[in-house]
Chains A and B, each alone.
Chain A
Amino acid sequence: MKKIETTLESVVSDLTAFYDYKVWEFLTLNGVAIDEGTTEIQWIFSRYGAIDDVVIYYAPVKNSETVPSVVDLIPSAIISQREIVDMFGITVENSEKGLYLDEDSLSAPLATCRI
């Protein structure tokens, strides 16, 4: 598992340079609460046909910031972007709330850091 740090400003251009859709499978978008008010957002990929070749681009995100959408590059990312919005209360460009949680549900249940 190889981790590559990126930023919200450069993630789209970094992923555009990296992602060849016939070489890499986009696994999912992941979030990890790292301290109060900050979440590490991860874009996870694996190479088709290779043994355990997993690459994770990650960026620390303040909960007040907006994460850019990568759906133009990776159409299947839309569903995990919506999940991150619900679970961490983060704003992701062009991704609406309500995939899992109703309006009266506890908001952002995974945003609280346990470290």
Chain B
Amino acid sequence: MGRKIIDIPLGSQHISLLEPIKFRFACENEKIVDVSSDVGFVHRGIEKACTTKFAYDAVPYVVARICGLCAITHSLAYTTAAESLLEGVVTRRAKYLRMLLVELDRIHSHMLCLSHTAENAGFEAMFMRIMGDRESVMDIQERITGNRVQFDYVSIGGVNRDITTDIEKEIRKTLAFIREKTHGYLEEFTTNWSLSLKFKGVGVLTLDEAYRYNAIGPLARAAGLATDVRSETDYLPYNEIGYEMRVGEGGDIYSRNIVRLFEILNSITMCENILGGLPEGEIQTKMKGKPTGEALVRLEAPRGELMYYIRGEGKAMLSRVRIKTPTFASIPAFIEVFKGSEYADAPAILASFDPCMSCTAK
């Protein structure tokens, strides 16, 4: 008898998915032997809109709408690129406030991923606990920026709001609360037998595959690839606030969870250091002129490297805005991980990638 291969779709709408993406798994019995993907269900033409509908100084607020989770990173990557073309200098206070928001974004984004990974392993109570705790981070983001998601906080030249002593106290209180909770999650994710059964040795990306498929973010670091844009660029002074790269081993779901948990703890420390060393000064620098030339900026979003390439011709509208998002770049690596895995593990593996289709389809 020959091999019998059957096609099983996952998505575009599926109980394990937060957003629409479609995978078609070719399976031999329970084992996935080949994968194809369709990622463009929520394409909104944002790159086109940025060069035809909005002037360059309005674009930070447009790109903040690409993603509800990493809106700050999108607007910051764009503004950093625009500021380099305008040859403007942002104050140190504005840079510190930008880093504060980027790291708060990372904390709640990683918490969302961990909660869904637990949910996909059947641990509903853990999902509820983490999502409940995550609300406190959203609350302080609202206090700082005025919004829970899609913050219009970063603008060309700096940031739009300063923090007060009262807000600083609230942030410190929330960070202490989240640190305590994260230590609890860490114990659960490392010692819970059910979670170990579902996560250890499942959905493995080897170090060589991580290099070969250009894996980025926690997916790469969990496989042992020491890459993080926070240590490979100098737009933001991460070296002053206690940034540490966490590299895992094993490249499985378990390792990705542990990397994210340690990154939450490091982000909490960095936020505390930002508040402790927040420089005095203005939060906005006036920048004149129209962008001329081309600039490329990379930032570490919660899911990995985010890249903006912009080109201006001295006009109000740019001639090109290119956005490369972390999930988009990771799709080939995702496909490689699925190959050889059990079909039953596919939802948990997918959740551990922390995919963002709003970013991907843009």
A101 engages B307 (CB within 8 Å): no
Q: With A54-B296, A114-B51 as given contacts, are A30 and B227 in contact (CB-CB < 8 Å)?
A: no
Residues of A within 8 A of B43 (CB): 100-101
Residues of B within 8 A of A50 (CB): 232
Give the CA-CA distance A31 to B320 in the complex, in Å: 9
Give the CA-CA distance A14 to B311 in the complex, in Å: 25
Stretch at the interface among A4-12, A19-27, A60-68: A19-27
- Per-residue CB contact flags for chain A residues 84-115 toward chain B (1 = under 8 Å, else 0) read 00010000000000111100000001100111
B320 engages A99 (CB within 8 Å): no
B362 to chain A, nearest CB (A): 9
B40 engages A99 (CB within 8 Å): yes
Give the CA-CA distance A1 to B297 in the complex, in Å: 10
A48 engages B212 (CB within 8 Å): no
Give the CA-CA distance A22 to B43 in the complex, in Å: 32
Decide yes or no whether B329 CB sits under 8 A from chain A: yes
Residues of A within 8 A of B309 (CB): 30, 42, 44
Q: With A32-B319, A50-B232 as given contacts, are A99 and B296 in contact (CB-CB < 8 Å)?
A: no
Decide yes or no whether B241 CB sits under 8 A from chain A: no
Residues of B within 8 A of A31 (CB): 322
Size range of the chain A interface in the assembly: 35 or more
Give the CA-CA distance A48 to B210 in the complex, in Å: 12
* Choice from B227, B317, B319, B332 contacting A76 with Cβ under 8 Å: B332
Give the CA-CA distance A115 to B311 in the complex, in Å: 10
* Choice from A44, A49, A114 contacting B296 with Cβ under 8 Å: A44
Size range of the chain B interface in the assembly: 35 or more
Decide yes or no whether B275 CB sits under 8 A from chain A: no
Q: With A25-B214, A76-B329, A100-B43 as given contacts, are A33 and B232 in contact (CB-CB < 8 Å)?
A: no
Give the CA-CA distance A80 to B360 in the complex, in Å: 11
Decide yes or no whether B226 CB sits under 8 A from chain A: yes
Decide yes or no whether B280 CB sits under 8 A from chain A: no
Decide yes or no whether B52 CB sits under 8 A from chain A: yes
Residues of A within 8 A of B48 (CB): 109-110
| Nearest-CB residue, chain B, relative to A27 | B307
Residues of B within 8 A of A22 (CB): 211
Residues of B within 8 A of A56 (CB): 296
A79 engages B328 (CB within 8 Å): yes
Q: With A51-B234, A99-B39 as given contacts, are A75 and B313 in contact (CB-CB < 8 Å)?
A: no
B322 engages A76 (CB within 8 Å): no
Decide yes or no whether B47 CB sits under 8 A from chain A: yes
A114 engages B319 (CB within 8 Å): yes
Decide yes or no whether A78 CB sits under 8 A from chain B: yes
- Per-residue CB contact flags for chain B residues 293-315 toward chain A (1 = under 8 Å, else 0) read 01110100000010101010100
Q: With A1-B296, A79-B331 as given contacts, are A115 and B234 in contact (CB-CB < 8 Å)?
A: no
From 275 to 294 in chain B, residues with beta carbon under 8 angstroms from any chain A beta carbon are 294
* Choice from B40, B52, B231, B332 contacting A114 with Cβ under 8 Å: B52
Decide yes or no whether A69 CB sits under 8 A from chain B: no
Residues of A within 8 A of B107 (CB): none
| Nearest-CB residue, chain B, relative to A45 | B214
Residues of A within 8 A of B298 (CB): 27, 46, 54
Give the CA-CA distance A110 to B51 in the complex, in Å: 9
* Choice from A78, A101, A115 contacting B313 with Cβ under 8 Å: A115
Decide yes or no whether B324 CB sits under 8 A from chain A: yes
A28 engages B212 (CB within 8 Å): no
Give the CA-CA distance A27 to B296 in the complex, in Å: 11
B319 engages A51 (CB within 8 Å): no
| Nearest-CB residue, chain A, relative to B215 | A76
Binding site for A on B (CB under 8 A): 39-40, 43, 45, 47-48, 51-52, 211-214, 216, 225-227, 231-234, 294-296, 298, 305, 307, 309, 311, 313, 317, 319-320, 322, 324, 328-329, 331-333, 361
Q: Beyond A1-B294, A31-B322, A80-B329: 6 further Cβ-contacts under 8 Å?
A: A28-B324, A33-B319, A49-B232, A76-B213, A79-B329, A80-B328
